[in-house]
Amino acid sequence: MSMTAEEILLNCEKHFSFISNEIDSIINYVKKLLENCKKINNSDFYENKIDELIKKLIYEKEDFKNSTINRKLEKDTHIAIETYNEIQKLAERKRDLLVELKFQAFALKNDIVQKEQELIFKSLNINKDYGLKDLENTLINSQNDDYKKVKIQNYFANKKEILVNKSHEQIIELVNQELNTSETNEDILRKELVSNAIDLYKNDKESLDILKEEINKLQTNNVQDLKKVFKDFLYKAEKETIRRDNINKIVEAIKSIGYFVDENNIRKIKEKNIVLIHAVKEDGKSADFAVKFDGSIIYNWEGFENHEHDEDAKAFLEKLRGFNIKHSEEYKKVYRKPDFDKVERTKLIIKKQKKGS
């Protein structure tokens, strides 16, 4: 007989780890701001803001852990699907909140950097006898950022006729304004968004490809557009990360019960957004899996006598549970007459592969 069925898979560990990594990256980001805060006036205000943000992030991480890893998935299909949908909605709310918190962190950094810049210039010991070139060099040397050094140099070159009649204090104020207004807040947020994501996902090519694809859709640097793009990126990157982990564990599980999986038989069908896996046994029996973007799988067992494939399916699902993949009961289950021609063709392919190896 042949058997086809569908199941809901719930990879709570990967759900949690994806959101957790995002939260940890924001926590590390804002903790770095704490040191900068101590150098500026009114530092208590910023330190309190950062402490509040960190506490909020830690709470959200623990709350999501309790709703995923510590959550029981009922085997009853109807209840399992309800639980699955509930966790999906919760993940969406967490992603949306993360975007808001991340942009709060970016805005805090921008504000702190501006305050730092003011402090740097105020703390300079400017000799009253300095000429324009001496003042220019002093301001350039006060900066650690090469981009700012170039901005100051260009500003003096382009505004020389104006600056020559200004006092040192007036020039410093004008240069400070130039550094703070040469980029809009939206430009700065976009740079922070991209650089932060690249740093977090530098070892994940698929996520970086998704990020590039979403960023390329941007028509403006409007804050709401930036937030939407990042929300879309998080949604797609999370789904793809979870599916990739599911695929690895499906392949490992099916191999552990005596099937072979050739790398060429793991294929992504981009237009349908599914990944197909073809596994075979030496006796010609086969198992095929279609792994959907939403976390569910369809599988087909081919070439068995009577209902023997149920035993392989049972063993396979038991192995998945061992990898902490929760699943519902099978649904849309259909039995058909076996395709023995396909079984014989599979046997021939395996024999040829053995001879060639």
The rounded distance, in Å, linking the Cα atoms of 155 and 141 is: 15
Give 42 or 157, the one with higher predicted confidence: 157
- Of residues 244 and 120, more confidently modeled: 244
Q: Which pLDDT score, from 0 to 100, does residue 183 have?
A: 66
Straight-line distance from the first to the last Cα atom of the chain, in angstroms, rounded to the nearest whole number: 31
* CATH class of the domain defined by 2-6+244-356: alpha beta
Percent above pLDDT 90 for the chain? 41
Q: Provide the pLDDT confidence category of residue 2 given band limits of 50, 70 and 90.
A: confident
Classified as helix, coil or strand, 107 is helix
- Report the C-alpha gap between 104 and 96 in whole angstroms: 13
Please give the mean pLDDT across all residues of the chain: 85
Can you give the pLDDT at residue 341? 47
The pLDDT of residue 350 = 54
DSSP class of residue 264 equals G
What gap in Å lies between CA 329 and CA 6, rounded to an integer? 9
- Which long-range contacts does 223-230 make (Cβ < 8 Å, 24+ apart)? 223/103, 223/185, 223/186, 223/189, 226/103, 226/186, 226/189, 226/190, 226/193, 227/99, 227/100, 227/103, 230/99, 230/102, 230/193, 230/197
**pLDDT band, very low/low/confident/very high, at 355 (cuts 50, 70, 90):** low
Instruction: Output 134 or 307, whichever has higher pLDDT.
Output: 134
Q: Is the pTM of this model over 0.85?
A: no
Per-residue pLDDT tens over the stretch 203-218: 999 999 999 999 998 8
| pLDDT tens-digit readout, 39-84 | 676 678 888 999 999 999 999 999 999 888 776 655 555 556 777 7
Q: Percentages helix, strand, coil for the chain, rounded to the nearest 5?
A: 65, 10, 25
Give the whole-number percent of the chain exceeding pLDDT 70. Answer: 88
Above 60 in pLDDT, residue 106? yes
Q: Where are the domains of the chain?
A: 2-6+244-356, 12-240
Mean pLDDT for 189-201 is 92
| Range with the poorest average pLDDT among 71-75, 124-128, 324-328 | 71-75
Q: Is the pLDDT of residue 110 over 50?
A: yes
Pairwise pLDDT comparison (149 vs 307), residue with the higher score: 149
Model pLDDT, residue 200: 94
pLDDT of 145 over the 90 cut? no
Q: Is the distance from CB of 4 to CB of 337 less than 8 angstroms?
A: no
What does the alpha-carbon distance between residue 310 and residue 308 come to, in Å, rounded to a whole number?
Answer: 5
